[in-house]
């Protein structure tokens, strides 16, 4: 299988410690996917980085990763997610600077790689919405998985409606308190006969697959250290099973297992 991960790749800047780690939804997913997808699967990362110290952090993290990195270097800063971790381990995304990703456009060779993919995985959030739409304009015969990563704070229903019929698997990170949003997503899954997967933190996960509803409990851990990247790990675990014929229930369980591992450490990958 040829998996292509397109989107943000930069650094996570932890506050107040100042610790800097490789991060970004796409980078996190690619690294987790490399661990759980079969070794003979090709995993490609497509993104842009700056010519700053953050770029070196990214390059060092992917060295010897067995991931094909198509990282375009541009003059300027790599993307930065500023993170504060609460005493209970829950992350707070304080601020995001997209850096050179703001103006990044895919070249012809990158577009060809995406078009030839068996699975393309793309995040979308406010700061990279234009980039996302550019990726979605590329025809691909493979599966498309999209992480609507800021849907809890910015539920862009018009964007979801625009692309839901061409997205095979959609991921949403919500809270069990987001009852109205969850109800709307359930309706859309049924109306469009699509698979929508919702992670709910300690409350587990739920998938709406057409008219079917499948739930999965979270795996208890001894101590939650940092929830950064939990959703990215979940998506990697889920897709590593679902793309090879596993049931939605089995795929949710694998996602839960991988996310339980990642929240017991600092850093998302």
pLDDT at 222: 92
Can you read off the two tokens belonging to residue 190? 């049924």
Can you read off the two tokens belonging to residue 12? 């996570």
pLDDT at 261: 95
DSSP state string for 201-230 = GGG-EEEEETTEEEEEPPPP-S-----TTH
Locus of tokens 């625009």 = 162
Phi, psi of 132 (to 5 degrees): -60, -45
pLDDT < 50 positions in the chain: none
CA of residue 10 relative to chain centroid, distance: 13
User: Do you know the residue count of the chain?
Assistant: 269
pLDDT at 171: 98
Structural contact between residues 218 and 203, judged by C-beta atoms closer than 8 angstroms: yes
Using only the alpha carbons of the chain, give its radius of gyration.
17
DSSP SS3 for 220 = coil
Domains of the chain: 2-262 (3.40.1190.20)
pLDDT at 31: 97
Euclidean distance between CA atoms 155 and 143, whole angstroms = 23
**DSSP symbol at 77:** P
Where would I find the H helices in 90-151?
108-115, 129-136
């Amino acid at each position: 299988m040829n998996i292509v991960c397109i989107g943000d790749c930069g650094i996570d800047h932890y506050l107040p410690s100042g610790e800097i780690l490789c991060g970004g939804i796409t980078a996190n997913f690619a690294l987790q996917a490399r661990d759980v997808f079969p070794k003979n699967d090709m995993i490609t990362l497509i993104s842009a980085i700056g010519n700053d110290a953050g770029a070196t952090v990214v390059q060092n993290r992917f060295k010897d990763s067995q991931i094909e990195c198509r990282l375009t270097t541009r003059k300027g800063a790599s993307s930065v997610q500023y993170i504060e971790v609460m005493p209970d381990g829950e992350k707070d995304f304080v601020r995001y600077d997209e850096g050179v990703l703001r103006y990044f456009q895919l070249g012809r060779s990158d577009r060809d790689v995406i078009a030839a993919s068996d699975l393309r995985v793309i995040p979308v959030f406010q700061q990279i919405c234009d980039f996302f739409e550019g990726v979605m304009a590329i025809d691909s015969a493979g599966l498309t998985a999209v992480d609507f990563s800021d849907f809890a704070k910015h539920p862009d229903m018009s964007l979801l409606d625009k692309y839901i019929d061409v997205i095979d698997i959609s991921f949403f990170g919500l809270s069990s308190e987001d009852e109205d949003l969850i109800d709307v997503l359930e309706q859309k899954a049924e109306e469009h006969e699509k698979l929508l997967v919702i992670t709910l933190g300690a409350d587990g996960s739920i998938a709406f697959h057409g008219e079917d509803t499948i739930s999965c409990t979270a795996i208890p851990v001894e101590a939650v250290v940092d929830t950064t990247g939990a959703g990215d790990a979940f998506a990697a675990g889920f897709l590593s099973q679902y793309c090879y014929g596993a049931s939605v229930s089995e795929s949710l369980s694998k996602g839960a297992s991988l996310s339980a591992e990642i929240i017991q450490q600092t850093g998302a990958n």
